[in-house]
Each structure stands twice: as structure tokens, then as C-alpha cells.
Chain A
Amino acid sequence: MGSLEHANWFMRVLFGAMCAIIVVSVLLAQRGRQMFIRRIPGLSAIEEAVGRATEMGRPIFFSPGLWGISIVTLQALAILAYVVRLAATRLTRIIVGVCDPTIFPVAEESVREAYASAGRPEGFRPEDVRFVSDQQFAYALGSVGIMSREQVATSFFFGMFFAEALILSENGRALGALQVAGCPDPVQIPFFIATCDYVVIGDEYYAASAYLTREPTLTGSLVGQDIVKAVVLALIVLGVGLATWYGGAASEARNVLFKLLAKGA
């Protein structure tokens, strides 16, 4: 295998092009270009799930996953902000169980902000954003405890989850909560499918904020993502074509591709 300690020229160009496509698409959308997003059932369910808690007059539980400040968790917090804004206008309480100490201040801050932007800053209760534990299973058990003592009507699991996913969602199901989950890592998705009412799969997770808020910046970014995906798809088709044409073993064409993709500077 090659060395990928630093990028090679091909990676620099590819990366630059990918970034440029996304940023240009964002800028176009901000200038007012209309963009289409298809229906994503798991995400459409978020409003229904909040509505259920409102009807039943019981709180919502939201878990932003196990990771600290990372891209995955920031996306989870973006979804959280949307859910809080929905819940705030309907006077529904939402409890956030946090696992990583570095994400705790960020979660608290974005929940407070979401209440403020929904026009109900007084609705924010600091004790509803709770640090539960940084230990995976203490977090799981603590969160199950919160869910059952507060008799939550709805629970959301968005972020990076590992084995605790099934502990959280199976107990939530036994409580009769309506559950919506999303995790970029495919490994826990089967268990969410078995226990939750709606599941957001793979890239739908990153499409969530665009889909929910329809903000131009985000929809633009989503369209840009699709174009980049098409570029990757084309690259794969090209690679498969070359491999088929020249044969699988150590051919010249394959070596060239290998140098470009699997060997850095």
C-alpha cells in the first residue's frame, strides 16, 4: 500500500474541485436559484414525532450521540436546533442527554439559541440539557433512566452511536415512545430499523438540515453534494471500465490509478 501522509497533486486538484463545486452551489442558492430536494420519509417524520409529544403533553428526549466536537455531532446539533425550535413554539419540553464533556457547552448553547430564535427565550431550562456520563454504558443506562422517569413520548437519536444504540432504542420502544434515529455509521442502522419508527440512513443524515429548514445555503450545499457524488460515481465507472479493458492484474492503467488514489506525497 502506498503512503497517504500528505496529498499528491491529483488529490489536491480533486479536493479543490469538490470544495469549489459545493461552495459555488451554495453561493448560487444564496443568490436565489431554486433547488429541488426529493422527499425523505425519515426526516418528514420529525415533525410528526414532535407533534405526538405535544398531544400527549409529555417531554421529548434527544441524544446527540457519543462523540465530542466533530462534524458528525455538529450535524446532530443542527438537527437538535431544528427540533427545539419546533418544540418551543408548541410549548413541549425537550431533554437533551449529553455524553461528551466538550459537546456539553455547545449543546447547551445551541439549545438556548434555538429557544431564543423561536421567540421563547424564557422556555429554556438549563437543567434540561444534561451531561449524563462520558462512559458509553453509564450513558446508556443513565439515558434509559431519564427516558423512563420522565415518561418521554418521543425520542430522537441523532449522532454517532455504537453498541448503546440498541439499549437506548429497545428500552424507548418498551416505554412506547415514538422514535426517530439517524447515524452516519451504517453498523448500528439495522438495530435502529428494528426498534425505531423512522430511521435516517447514511447520507440522509447530512441532508437533514437542508431538508428540514429549506435554507438556501443548505439546499445549495445539498445540490453541490449531489454533483460531487456524481463526480465520484463517474470516477468509479471510469476505474471499472479501465480495469475491465486492461484486465485486473498489475496493468499499467491500474498502476496509474493506484498512484493517483492510494499513494500520497
Chain B
Amino acid sequence: MMASAPQSPWQRLQGIPRYYIYLLLAAVVVWQILFPIRLPITPSAATKGVFAAIESVPDGKLIIISADWDASTQAETGPQTEAIIHACFQHHKRFALMSLGAPMGIKLADDLARRVAEQYDARYGVEWCNWGYKFGYDNVLIAMAKDIPKTIGTDFHGAPVAQLPMMAGVTEISSIGLVIEITGLAGISEYWIGLIQGVYGTPFASAYTAVMAPGYYPFLDSKQMKGMLVGAKGGAEMELLVGRPGLGGAIMAAQSWAHLFIIALIVLGNVGYLLASASERRRR
């Protein structure tokens, strides 16, 4: 267009090259990771909903934590999972990890659970277990609703789940008191809601990456979902509720500054746009 024409400083504000934006953003994040400036956090209603859902699971029933995340979203889903596991152990609720959509992520969740379990002296197979990755999404859920031990078969370590002490009396979906889906993959919650929560009325709560969350607010509003952790913020809030400030809080510091950086960029672009169009008008 007018690439060769000399640009006014206002026009230049509108066309900051991408590379500068990328470099500055990287610099802001690295700076905050190395020297974080922490800020206070207050839990939202959606986060409290997850916490309350865990608290209110009847004692005889099991919680399923469907950890459908892997390394790619670990920065958000890792702290979420850790805080949720803390909440389970603190309220003496037994839980089973499983994965429908992340064959390579379940190991990461297992490591996490193992580390947290040590802090509470919780034994594998008694207070918690890991059903491992189960292939087949809807087919798994449809079958599981009718017969859990048969559908799950073996746990993460290859042992038959029916032999785990905590699985005694766990037959079908009515043995489950809550399902918590932790994921960055869209679509899996629809299976849980469409095939389990909607069909059998099993309570459902979730933890999503911030990008997915907006799509699921309608389920929160329609009460199909008891609560929802939204991204790293949800993780940090949950950490606060369980009294274990950790990685989530540190990440929020970097988040704050990166957000401010992007907001500043948008403001600069608009200031440039307004001033450029004003000077244009004056010239005419």
C-alpha cells in the first residue's frame, strides 16, 4: 500500500513488527519466572463449586478424576490436578485417576498423585488408584456405566482393578459420587455429560485450560456441572482453598505481567490509530 512512503510515528505505532512483540513477551515471562512479584488472589464461585462438590461426596462413593492432559497443557492442568488431589485427601475421599484422551499424560498425573499421596500417607489401592488410559471415549463410558471392573480391567500398572481393596463393592456407575474432568481437550466433557452425568445424574465437575472454559460456562449455568477450575487462575485459587500455595501462584505473577504487556500493546495500537486518523483529517 504505502510501504515506501515515510511513516509518521503514529502509523509506526500501529505496525510494530511481530518479532518485537514476540521478543518482548518472552522477556516479560522469563523475568517474572526468575524474579516473581506475587499478588493477592481471591477464589471465584466456580472454583468454590469444585471444592464443595468434593466435600459433599458421600463417604461410600468413589471420585473419578479423569486426567485428560499431557505435557502440552501441564502449566495449567498440573497445578489444578495437584490441588484437586489435595482436596480429596484432605476430605478423606477415595479417588481413581483415569484418562480417556491423553495416553501419554496419565503417567504425569500418576507421578503427581504419588507425590501428594506421600504427604498424607495414603496407600495406593486403598485411598487412591490409577485406572490408566482407556481407549475408546464414548464406548468406554457407555460400558463403564454398566460394569466398572469389567470395563476398566487392569490398572495403570497392569494389575486387575477388581483386586484393589478400594474397589470392593464398586460395581457400576452408582458407586461413583463425582466425576472430575481435568483437560485441555475439548469434547471429552460432552461425553461425560452426555453419557454419564446427563444419563445417570452422577455429579460432574471440571478443570479446564482457560481457553476451553468459556465454551463450558453454559453447562455450569445449567447445573450439569457442579464447578469449574479455569486455567492457572483456577489452579491457584484451588491451591488457596486447600491451603497449599504452590506453582499456581508463581505462575499467576508471570500471567499478570504478560496480560499487562498485551493490554499495553492494544492501547498503543489504538492510540496510534486515533492520532494517525486525526492528523490525516487535519491534512485534508
Interface residues of A (CB under 8 A from B): 1-5, 137, 162-163, 174, 185-187, 264
With beta carbons under 8 angstroms apart, the residue of A2, A163, A185 that contacts B201 is A2
Contact A3 B199 (CB under 8 A): yes
Q: Which of B72, B199, B214, B215 has the most CB of A within 10 A?
A: B199
B130 within 8 A of A: no
Cα(A4)–Cα(B198), bound, Å: 5
Of A4, A137, A185, A186, which contacts B199 at CB under 8 A? A4
B18 touches A187 (CB 8 A): no
Task: Please determine whether A1 and B197 come into contact, CB atoms closer than 8 angstroms.
Answer: yes
Task: Give A185 to B212 CA distance when docked, in angstroms.
Answer: 11
Complex Cα gap A4–B224 (Å): 12
Known contacts A1-B224, A185-B215; can you find 20 more A-B pairs with CB under 8 A? Answer: A1-B201, A2-B198, A2-B201, A3-B200, A3-B201, A4-B194, A4-B198, A4-B199, A5-B199, A5-B200, A137-B72, A162-B185, A163-B184, A163-B211, A174-B18, A185-B186, A186-B215, A187-B186, A187-B211, A187-B212
Closest CB in chain A relative to B249 CB, distance in Å? 25
Q: Return the CB mask of B184-218 against A: 1 if under 8 Å, else 0.
A: 11100000001001111100000000011011000
Q: From B196, which residue of chain A is reached at the shortest CB distance?
A: A5
Whether the pair A1, B72 counts as a contact (CB closer than 8 A) is no
Inter-chain CA distance A105–B212, complex, in Å, is: 31
CB contact list, B14-29 vs A, under 8 A: 18
B184 contacts across to A, CB distance below 8 A: 163
CB of B223 within 8 A of chain A?
yes
CA distance A1 to B225 in the complex (A): 10
What are 24 of the A-B contact pairs (CB < 8 Å)? A1-B197, A1-B201, A1-B223, A1-B224, A2-B198, A2-B201, A3-B199, A3-B201, A4-B194, A4-B198, A4-B199, A5-B199, A5-B200, A137-B72, A162-B185, A162-B186, A163-B184, A163-B211, A174-B18, A186-B215, A187-B211, A187-B212, A187-B215, A264-B199
Q: A11 CB to closest chain B CB, in angstroms?
A: 12
Set of chain A residues within 8 Å of B201, measured between Cβ atoms:
1-3
CA distance A264 to B215 in the complex (A): 25
B204 vs chain A, min Cβ distance (A): 9
Chain B residues, Cβ within 8 Å of A137 = 72
Minimum CB–CB distance for A223 against chain B, Å: 27
B128 CB to nearest A CB, Å: 27
Per the bound structure, the CA–CA distance linking A137 and B72 in Å amounts to 10
Q: How far is the CA of A185 from the CA of B194 in the complex (A)?
A: 17
Tell me if A187 and B214 are in contact (CB < 8 A). Answer: yes
Chain B residues positioned under 8 Å from A4 (CB to CB): 194, 198-199
Q: Which residues of A contact B18 (CB under 8 A)?
A: 174
Once bound together, how far apart are the Cα atoms of A185 and B211, in whole Å? Answer: 13
Ranked 5 nearest A-B pairs via Cβ: A5-B199, A4-B198, A187-B215, A1-B201, A4-B199
Closest to B203 in A: A1
Query: Could you say which residues of chain A place their CB within 8 Å of the CB of B224?
Result: 1
B214 nearest CB neighbor, chain A only = A187
Which B residue's beta carbon lies closest to that of A174? Answer: B18
